[in-house]
Every structure is written in structure tokens, then in C-alpha cells.
Amino acid sequence: MMSANAAAKAAAQFRTEHPHASIEEAFIAGALHERRSPTENSWFAAKQRCTNPSSDSYPRYGGRGIRMCEAWVNDFAAFFADMGERPPGTTLDRIEVNGDYEPSNCRWATVKQQQRNTRRNRFIEIDGERKAVVQWSEDVGTHPHVIVKRLDRGWSPRDAVFAPHGARRKALEADRA
């Protein structure tokens, strides 16, 4: 039996890795956390999000139809065989955010990678390259809010991203005419 302090620490760690988990889920998982590897913790958390209607995360996963593949749902060894050991500084990520937890749609990703792979992000495509606005912003040095405002005002994705600061849409269109 772990001490109350150790249980609280394990629960706090679980909540850090899974911010949408309830306190109860965190303490249950936290108690088991010390007995499981980081890889097994990721598998367990994903399984809970998809299969446990009592999980606080269930409405955003299982409740939306996100499932864990049959091969993984009750077999950590199968999950481990497909995904390997979880690298430090990463968590389990679905490449297609509306897709299931399955080998072709999962990867170990950093927090930064995961933050760019959410339903909340706005993606734009320029010359066949699709990126989140924040990625384009970092590439060219334009604040993401400037790009979003330009897009909202009807600018083409190319102009919204690459026009110099202070540029006006009509001036850009006149230069092309």
C-alpha cells in the first residue's frame, strides 16, 4: 500500500499528463501509476477516454465515436508491439484528430506537436503544404493573429501569410493587375 503522500504525488503526475482527468480518475490511476510504465499509463488513459463513460474525457473521445482498435483495447502487449516504448517527453497522439486509436493513426508526440494537432486549430494550405496558422506564423515571422484577421477579411492564404506587415489587400491586388 502506498502512502497518502505518494498517492497524491502519483495523482498529481497523472493530472499533469492528463489534464482533463477527474480527481477520482487521477487517484485511481495514480495509485496504479507507480506500478505501470509510462507506456502502459498512456495506453490505459487512452482506453479510459474511449471506453469508460464515467471518465471526464469520455465525451470528447468515446462519446464522439473515437474508439481504440480491437487489437489494443484489452491487450497492452499488442499496443506495445505496435507503438514501442514511450520516449521521454512524449505522450500518445492521434495523427487524424477525428480518427481512432489504431496503429496507422497513432504516434508518440511532444506537447508542442499535440497542441498543433487539435480540432481547435485553423489549418491553411499553400502550394499543397498544409499547416496550422501558428506554424506558418513561426515560419515567416508574422503574428498568428495577423494571419487569422487577414483570412477572416477574405485574403488568400498566400497573401495572409506572406504579405509584409502593414500591407493592404487592395494594394496587393493592384500590384498583381
Q: Model confidence over 84-98: pLDDT tens digits?
A: 999 999 999 999 889
Q: What pLDDT score does 153 carry? A: 92
- Domain-by-domain residue ranges, the chain? 123-176
Can you give the pLDDT at residue 167? 78
**Tens digits of residue pLDDT in 123-143:** 899 999 988 898 899 999 988
| pTM, entire model | 0.61
Query: What pLDDT score was predicted for residue 120?
Result: 80
- Determine the pLDDT at residue 115: 79
Which segments in the chain show pLDDT lower than 70? Answer: 1-12, 14-15, 18-34, 169-177
Distances (CA, A) of 65 to 1, 57, 61, 86, 99: 37, 12, 6, 25, 9
